[in-house]
Structure 1
Amino acid sequence: MVFCCRITIESAADQSKKFFDAASSIEIEKTWRKFTNTAVLQLPKGVYYQVGNTMFAMESIKELFKTGDLIKIELGYNRELKTEFQGYIARIQPTIPVEFHCENEMYKMKRNNVSIHIEDATVRQILQAAAPGYEIECADEIYGDFSMAETTSAKVFDELKKKAGLYTFFRGKRLICGLQYSDDKLPTVIPQFEFGKNIIDNSLQYIAPEDCKLKIYGKSIQRDGSVIVYDRGDEGGDIERWNQDETTKEQLKINIDRRYDNAKTKGGYAGTVTSFGFPVVEHGQTIRVLDPGIYEKRDSMHYVDEVKISVSASGGYRRVSTVGKFVTEKKLLK
């Protein structure tokens, strides 16, 4: 397979586009656990760029590129390109090679100004006020009274995470909240990774049930509109959300405690799987790990929490997938 890439940088001032088909190195990080997906791109000093059908030698970085310019990174093999990153140039490091530090759509959410005051707000209403104009997909929940003045959208998202355990992130221009493992627009095909075939390296370790971290947020909406909440679990682990209408606080606590105690009896794997650039994997997808070894057989499915992509002359095109929550329900393999 022959590696190929296409980097498109569009001027925020006049929408003119410049294209590159080479880079010294590329590092991309994508995860639902952080608000922002990032990319670091290094371009050699003597690189040529294309405008229309004409090639030019890159001379002055300051004249060609500015912070806020749009960037798209496409990677692949044998002329089959997949978009791995879209966002904005957040910072330009004038080193040799020149280094572009890029952020996805969250770049704009850190630099705007919003004020939100909503009584009995739903999560959707909060997001619509914080990020007007964006396609929003979110958990269908009532949050309650919400008030933040003279702040940024990113700080609003942080408040949702702290108070309700709702993680907010972008996929392209879609703003997603609380649906890290249930995005129905992700590919349904489950990528398979098998030891001895397409797994280059791994750091998978079995985690005993008592060491698995899980936090469950429970909520019950009463007939009068009031909201009862109860949560139990460990910070820094998997997040689950339970909504039960017209349940007493005592019953909600019993249900959440039962679910938590049952989940803590199941172990699973944690760590990373390093593979080639293809198959493409995005965070939130399910992957299947197969080990046909004689002495140790492993066949498990996991949600992916984070993906790191690297391109370099020495390492080639690589993808490191961090496996997260163990998938216990049966899924169709294609």
Structure 2
Amino acid sequence: MMKKSLVATAALAVLLTTGCAAGGADAKGGDAGTDAAKPANTAVDLSKITVSEEAAAMLPSEIAERGTFVLGVDATYPPNEFKDDAGNPIGWEVDLMNATAAKLGLETDNQVAKFENIIPNIELGKFDSGIAGYYDTIKRQESFDMVDFFWAGNQFGSLKENEIASELDICGQKISVPNGGSAPLYYLPEIEKECLAAGKDKIEVMGYDTTEEMVAAVSLGRAYAFVADSPVVSYAIKNSGGKLVGSEIYDTLPAGAPFKKGNTELVEAFAAAMQELHDDGTYDEILEFWGVEVGRVDAITVNAGTE
């Protein structure tokens, strides 16, 4: 199971940002871009979100008085979080966290940080939370409380004629992955064991430095398929002009945002506010805008991970 290790780079943002900015109208049935107050690279107009007095009353007094929610953002992981041309954080997790903070009457202070620095800064109290494609695991719950708002897992992307119907479809095939990702270390070796047990050939793993190169290897016919976290695959498919299709999602886990363990008031307030966004349709709008609705959850939960 992947933990957030398929690190997308600015190269993928260059490849796909145009699609999400200009293509947002398609993702929202032609409505995106009609509101001059809402930038083309965000799904929500924060000025139109009404504050939930009930959820806001649950906030710790320190944060309520401060008026800001400090969020660490690993802006290297499209479509979850990355940078626009001006260097501002964008992405579906950014939209969702900004909207939730607005529901609580707070402004979000998005602090761009390296993946490895976000967790320590939450522990130190410098960040209230962070987003970096975090899975909710039993191990993570030992130190953090997770507000879960998404299902994610391993997914294959391929050309239509090579659609993956089963994990064993990749036996004997060239599969592209990003260098440093966990797929070649953990996930693909497990599938290869099944391939060999079934009398099939080994998987040929092709490593690339960027997610852009990984996807291009499939588009150009150099690889049979690529494997990545499901939001990455969904986003690549959405912006492929109909060339790519995705497999089902394997090894799914709840995913969300970590909060410092014991910060119960903030966790409960944030979960309650996000649930209101789920109930009023804002949550769905955000996921659909970014093409990641396959990971939709039925309800916002806390510490739902069981693995």
Query: Which TM-score bucket, shorter chain as reference?
Result: under 0.3
Higher RCO structure, 1 or 2 (CA under 8 Å, sep 6+): 2
Of Structure 1 and Structure 2, which has the larger fraction of its residues in helix? Answer: 2
TM-score by length of 2: 0.24
Structure whose alpha-carbon radius of gyration is higher: 1
Of Structure 1 and Structure 2, which has the larger fraction of its residues in strand? Answer: 1
TM-score by length of 1: 0.22
